[in-house]
Amino acid sequence: MSDAESLMWRLEKDPYLSSTVANLTVLDTAPDMERLAQRMIRATRVVPRLRQRVKPALGLQPPVWVDDHDFDLSYHLRRLALAPPGDERQLYDLATLLTADPFDRTRPLWQMVIIEGITGGRAALLMRFHHTLMDGEGGVRLSLQFLDFERDAPEKPLPPEVDAAAAPPAASPSEVARDVMTSTLRVPMGLAREWGDLLADPRRIPEVSAAAATSLRAIVRQLSDTKRALSPLWTHRSLSRRLETLQVPFDDVKTAAKELGGSINTAFITAATEAAGRYHVAQGAPIEELRASMAISTRTRATTEANAFTLARLLVPAGEMSIEERFKRIQEATDTARSESGQASLNALAGVTAALPTSLLVRIARQQTETVDFGTSNVRASAVHLYLAGSRVEANYPIGPTGGTAFNLTLLSYAGSLDMGLNIDAAAVAYPGMLRNLMVESFEDLVKRGRPLRATASKTAKPRKPEGAQKKGKAKPAKKS
């Protein structure tokens, strides 16, 4: 594992820091299971990691990926059906439960579940995988192994199966001992990988030394930031989740973002922040600022790692203002976050913390997540319609990990639409349906170039508060049945 993957693996000792990523794909009809199984056999040969499990290592070494000689596709590819009536709420609730299930750590860390019995003769695919396996963009690339550009696409030839006997031999005892000894140098080695081979070009030592100092200062500054999240409402955390979804037209948002002088990503975070601000106003607890996290891809054409991203925190303006002003301020914040993200990249942070005991590392990570109100991520996918074993893909709703925040909003662009999965901590957000509806309204207003917050918030009817809730927006979550 890379330093970043090892970090995510260790942090999952705390279930609040689960690294499971999922995607709910809605299909116009149930797929041909035999064809799908054949495609997945092919995918596991093209992407060897799908047939690998994690093997713990000694000392400070990161875990390693090893071939699973007991690999069984039927364990990873499953099929079930909803009970009548099979509506979308049932589908979302089931997807939430399946996503929350921990992986069997003795097997490859992924699963595909075909869900039938959805109203209108539809079906769905829930694909989930551990973040150590790949990031969101890696998941999109993997999907090309089993998705087609036409309904009755011809079968592709199977690549030859990897001969287990040809695999590299296991490390000898002396090699293991050597690796354990050198693992004490994992901190400087983790950083040195980013700075290049200094022995080959000693002239770069001053340049790299300056980069090292800058990177370490950025990491210390990031870990020293322990101010709690700013929302007065989203203060509780739990393992209960609620999934909501929304779709907005790609071209409309792109046009609005261009007119406002920025990108779709800025428009995305602007609408999310607008909705969060309106939610607080509707609950009688207006807030001027919130803290959001943003996933930033570091993937290039030369990237070979399964994960290539870092996380950035930014203060976003949630108070009363026009969408134009909010867009401008968020554009400035995201530009700053992107420029600083390389100084404290996830790999550099993972390298520095590699030598820490897991219990201490988890405590630091929990402290860091408590500084963030909500998380966002933006993934690009196909611009045209796709098919899965004879079924047409109607929508793609990504389910990003909350990571200790009140909610995660992840966007996946697909076939002229921006499909979004809103993964909510049910203890933090008392009215998830309201938050979802405000997200829709915020995107609509952004496309129309917006109205001030005060003009729209008053039109949002307050829901009846649960029994025992305080006034002024201190609403408690409804009791779970």
Verify that 10 and 133 share a domain, yes or no: yes
Let me know if residue 56 belongs to a domain.
yes
- State the DSSP code for 204: G
Contacts of 460 (CB under 8 A, 6+ apart): 278, 281, 282, 434, 437, 438, 441
| Same domain, residue pair 247 and 369 | yes
Residue 74: how many other CB atoms lie within 10 Å:
8
* Residue 173: exposure state from Cβ atoms within 10 A (0-12, 13-18, ≥19): exposed
- 146/236 same-domain check: no
Q: Is residue 289 part of a domain?
A: yes
Can you say whether the dihedral through the CA atoms of 465, 467, 472, 475 is positive or negative? negative
244 lies in which domain range? Answer: 224-378+414-457
DSSP string, 31-84: --HHHHHHHHHHHHHHSGGGGEEEE--STTPPPEEEE-TT--HHHHEEEEEPPT
Please say whether the dihedral angle defined by the alpha carbons of residues 81, 379, 54 and 301, taken in this order, is positive or negative. positive
Instruction: Read off the DSSP letter of residue 168.
Output: P
Final residue before a domain boundary, out of 128, 153, 178? 153
- Domain with 47 in it: what CATH number? 3.30.559.10
Residues 104, 237 within the same domain: no
Whether 142 and 229 share a structural domain: no
CB of 458 closer than 8 Å to CB of 286: no
For residues 142 and 232, state if they share a domain: no
Q: Does residue 169 belong to any structural domain of this protein?
A: no
- CATH at residue 351: 3.30.559.30
**Is 250 found in the same domain as 135?**
no
**Residue 165: count of CB within 10 angstroms of its CB:** 5
Cα four-point dihedral sign 144, 417, 309, 68: negative
Per-residue pLDDT tens digits of the chain, which is 481 residues long: 877 788 888 888 888 888 889 999 999 999 999 999 999 999 999 888 999 999 987 766 788 999 999 999 999 999 999 999 999 999 999 999 999 999 999 999 999 999 999 999 999 999 999 888 877 677 777 888 899 999 999 888 888 776 654 455 555 555 545 554 444 444 444 444 444 444 455 554 454 444 444 444 444 455 555 678 999 999 999 999 999 999 999 999 999 999 999 999 999 999 999 999 999 999 999 999 999 998 876 655 655 565 555 778 899 999 999 999 999 999 999 888 777 655 455 566 666 666 677 777 778 777 878 899 999 999 888 889 999 999 999 999 999 999 889 999 999 999 999 999 999 999 999 999 999 999 999 999 999 874 444 333 334 334 434 333 444 444 444 444 4
**Final residue of a structural domain among 126, 153, 180:** 153
Q: Which long-range CB contacts under 8 A does 295-299 form with residues at least 24 apart?
A: 295/136, 295/375, 295/376, 295/377, 295/378, 296/337, 296/338, 296/341, 297/135, 297/137, 298/341, 298/342, 298/345, 299/137
Cα separation, 422 vs 295, whole angstroms:
15
Task: Examine the domain organization and report whether 128 and 234 are in the same domain.
Answer: no
Question: Is 186 within a domain?
Answer: no
> Does residue 473 sit within a domain?
no
How much is the pTM? 0.80
Q: Does 72 fall in a domain? A: yes
432 & 298 share domain: yes
Query: Is residue 429 within 8 Å of 283, Cβ to Cβ?
Result: no
Sign of the dihedral through C-alpha 96, 100, 106, 109: positive
| Maximum C-alpha span of the chain | 71
Asked, for residue 159, whether it belongs to a domain, the answer is no
Rounded CA separation 54/185 (Å): 23
Do 239 and 117 fall into the same domain? no
Residue 166 forms part of a structural domain: no
In the chain, the number of structural domains is: 2
321 and 429 together in one domain: yes
Residue of 473, 476, 479 lying closest to 279 (CA atoms)? 473
Residue 479 buriedness (CB in 10 A; 0-12 / 13-18 / 19+): exposed
The answer to whether residues 237 and 364 belong to one domain is yes
